[in-house]
Amino acid sequence: MNKDELVKKIKELLNEGNIEKAKEFIEDHKDELGDYYDKAKVLLKSGKFDGLMDQFKKFF
């Protein structure tokens, strides 16, 4: 998968409310995500899931 496909999958998981699955997916693909990995991880650790998609979209 390329970065765009990975980001799309993460967005889908988050839209579905699958936060844990999104975390797992991000961890499983951290090498492929490169610098996006750190950004995604910070967002998920924040614990603020209201508007998470809006925040996530800013990075991608």
Closest CA to 11 of 35, 33, 34: 33
Residue 28: the pLDDT is 95
Residue 29: the pLDDT is 94
Kindly report the length of the chain.
60
Residue 34: the pLDDT is 87
Q: What is the DSSP letter of 35?
A: H
Class of residue 55 by CB neighbours under 10 A (exposed 0-12, middle 13-18, buried 19+) = middle
Residue 24: the pLDDT is 92
Q: In angstroms, rounded to a whole number, what is the distance separating the alpha carbons of residues 53 and 49? A: 8
The whole-model pTM stands at 0.69
Supply φ then ψ for residue 19, to 5 degrees. Answer: -60, -45
Residue 58: the pLDDT is 58
Provide the residue-wise pLDDT of the chain in tens; the chain has 60 residues: 888 899 889 888 888 888 889 889 999 999 998 888 887 777 677 655 545 555 555 555
